[in-house]
Amino acid sequence: MDSISIQTIMHNAVKAAAIFSQLDQEHTDRIVKAVYTAGFNNRVRLAQMAIDETKMGVFEDKVIKNVIATQLVYEDIKNVKTVGIISEDFESGIVEIAQPLGPIFAITPVTNPTSTVMFKILIALKSRNPIIIRPHSNAVNCSIEAARICYEAALAEDAPENCIQWIPGSTREETHQLMAHKDMALILATGGGGLVNAAYSSGTPALGVGAGNVPVFIEKSADIKYAVSSIMSSKLFDNGTVCASEQAIVVEKEISQQVKIEFAAQGGYFMNEEETAKVSAVVFDSKKKVMSSDIMGKSVKFIADLAGIKIPETARLLIAELKGIGDNYPISHEILAPVIAFYEAADYDSAVNICIDLNYHGGVGHTASIFSNNEEKIKQFSMVMNAGRIVVNMPSSQGAVGCIVNTLSASLTLGCGTGGKNITTDNVTAKHLLNIQRITRRRINRRFDSFDKSLYFDESVTADKVEKIFDKNF
């Protein structure tokens, strides 16, 4: 590890945690506001740094991601109580007190290298937890710059020294040692499946994310033009690098042709079988059974050129018409690029079954999307999908991260529940980084009065004796 040892990092973090735990809400909020402001003011420069270093995504969309991670996250958490007494209920006799967790280890991805850093820093500081950033190896410089900007802003408001630390480089073994360190309170893991799984097996509590393989069902009552426009704006956002972006379009046969015409009008290019095979070969690593890292966040032209196919200049999205799901159909996997699968279903039930199969093909617990004006069909669809977020009549990328087109918490860490091997289906935010103490006072619990206490004993124990037993104990 460059220049600083694991023990030094953890010693600094523990010391920062001790000081942080003594800050009041007003001081904490001043720090958070300063960090948000600094990150927001550097949104454009950090976006350019991310593009230059990672060679993926779209500059303007990277700027928007930085806005989400700073301004929208700040607006979402700024009024949340995270210090001291956060709720009092006289009737129940329960008082809740928020306490920080302690040092947090944050693994950040190459797809959102600056925005995820700033997001995790903001929610950690809001909950008074020091944070250690471990950037992706292909995004070290831009991620560290984002952390540095936040740290300097925090120090200017008298935040604890070393409340934000970062690791310029670490081996796999060193990363695992940090994860498993006895003083590490929590791991916030966003990245590849290997690192997320390592976080969960480290022995340290972890909040991770699962893979997204988001199906989008265009039900026959939907506004087709609006649905296609929404899907295009979502799937093309930052060249498809949002894990909640649509991965497969599912339509009923009755409207299939209309949907195809509309996609073609908006820049969707339907590939023939030969073109689909060539694109499949470059977007999916058949040995590792995952998408190829070479095409993540790349433009549609880059992918077409790599695959050796000719596409119109107007093409914005490559669409593969598929008949099945699985390793024999590589584009049925999660592909974080402007490439998407297309399925035609005989009817509503068949379409839902395809969505379920896609959901379980690498995206359990994450997100599912539906466009429909039939409330009953929307409810039916939602009930059978194993997804933490069911986004209705909105672009999935922008919908799942929250705060833009709905009122979900703004977050760049999207829980996938037990299906995705996560502990929550929530959009992870500051409230998930707190320990809640509960003071409970003696109250008569009227629910207990309705119990037949005599049933706890056999008939040899008289009713009077039962009452005496309960009076003695309660």
3-state SS, 144-198, equals: HHHHHHHHHHHHHCCCCCCCEEECCCCCHHHHHHHHHCCCCCEEEECCCHHHHHH
Instruction: Tell me if 6-208+429-435 shares its fold with 214-408.
Output: no
The alpha-helical segments, DSSP class H, found in 21-94 are 25-41, 43-54, 59-67, 73-77
- The dihedrals phi and psi of 304, each to the nearest 5 degrees, come to -65, -45
| Sign of CA pseudo-dihedral 397, 403, 405, 407 | positive
Question: In a 3-state reduction of DSSP, which class is residue 369?
Answer: strand
463: confidence class by pLDDT, cuts 50, 70, 90:
confident
Query: How many Å apart are CA 119 and CA 97, to the nearest integer?
Result: 24
How, if at all, do strands 246-252 and 214-218 pair? parallel
**Burial tier of 138 (Cβ tally within 10 Å: 0-12, 13-18, 19+):** middle
Query: How many Å apart are CA 148 and CA 150, to the nearest integer?
Result: 5
Residue 2 has pLDDT above 60, yes or no: no
How high is the pLDDT of residue 277? 98
Of residues 458 and 364, more confidently modeled: 364
Residue 453 has pLDDT above 70, yes or no: no
Q: Sheet with 434-440: list strands edge to edge.
A: 84-89, 94-100, 434-440
How high is the pLDDT of residue 339? 98
Of residues 445 and 28, more confidently modeled: 28
* β partners of residue 180: none
Of residues 276 and 474, more confidently modeled: 276
Which strand (E) or helix (H) includes residue 208?
A: strand 206-208
Residue 188 has pLDDT above 80, yes or no: yes
Question: Where do the domains of the chain lie?
Answer: 6-208+429-435, 214-408
Residue 1 has pLDDT above 70, yes or no: no
Contacts of 224-229 with CB under 8 Å at 24 or more apart are 224/255, 224/258, 224/259, 224/262, 225/262, 226/371, 226/393, 227/259, 227/371, 227/393, 228/259, 228/262, 228/263, 228/266, 228/268, 229/266
Tokens representing 371?
Answer: 């466009």
How high is the pLDDT of residue 459? 73
Looking at residue 50, its amino acid is A
Average pLDDT for the chain? 94
Residue-wise pLDDT for 31-51, tens only, equals 999 999 999 999 999 999 999
Query: How many Å apart are CA 318 and CA 300, to the nearest integer?
Result: 7
* β partners of residue 374: none
- The dihedrals phi and psi of 133, each to the nearest 5 degrees, come to -95, 130
What global pTM score does this model have? 0.94
What mean pLDDT do residues 141-168 have? 97
Query: How many Å apart are CA 193 and CA 420, to the nearest integer?
Result: 11
Residue 470 has pLDDT above 80, yes or no: no
Task: Specify the fold of 214-408.
Answer: Aldehyde Dehydrogenase; Chain A, domain 2 (3.40.309)
Share of the chain above pLDDT 90, in %: 84
What does the chain come to in residues? 474
Residue 141 has pLDDT above 80, yes or no: yes
Residue 450 has pLDDT above 70, yes or no: no
325: closest CA among 281, 359, 288?
A: 359
CATH for the stretch 6-208+429-435: 3.40.605.10
208: confidence class by pLDDT, cuts 50, 70, 90:
confident
Residue tagged active-site, from 243, 355, 403, 416: 243
Has 163 been annotated as catalytic? no
444: confidence class by pLDDT, cuts 50, 70, 90:
confident
- CA 246 to the chain's CA centroid: 14
Residue 467 has pLDDT above 90, yes or no: no
Residue 447 has pLDDT above 90, yes or no: no
Of residues 172 and 40, more confidently modeled: 40
What mean pLDDT do residues 63-80 have? 98
Residue-wise pLDDT for 420-443, tens only, equals 888 999 999 999 999 999 999 988
Share of the chain above pLDDT 70, in %: 98
Residue-wise pLDDT for 73-126, tens only, equals 999 999 999 999 999 999 899 999 999 999 999 999 999 999 999 999 999 999
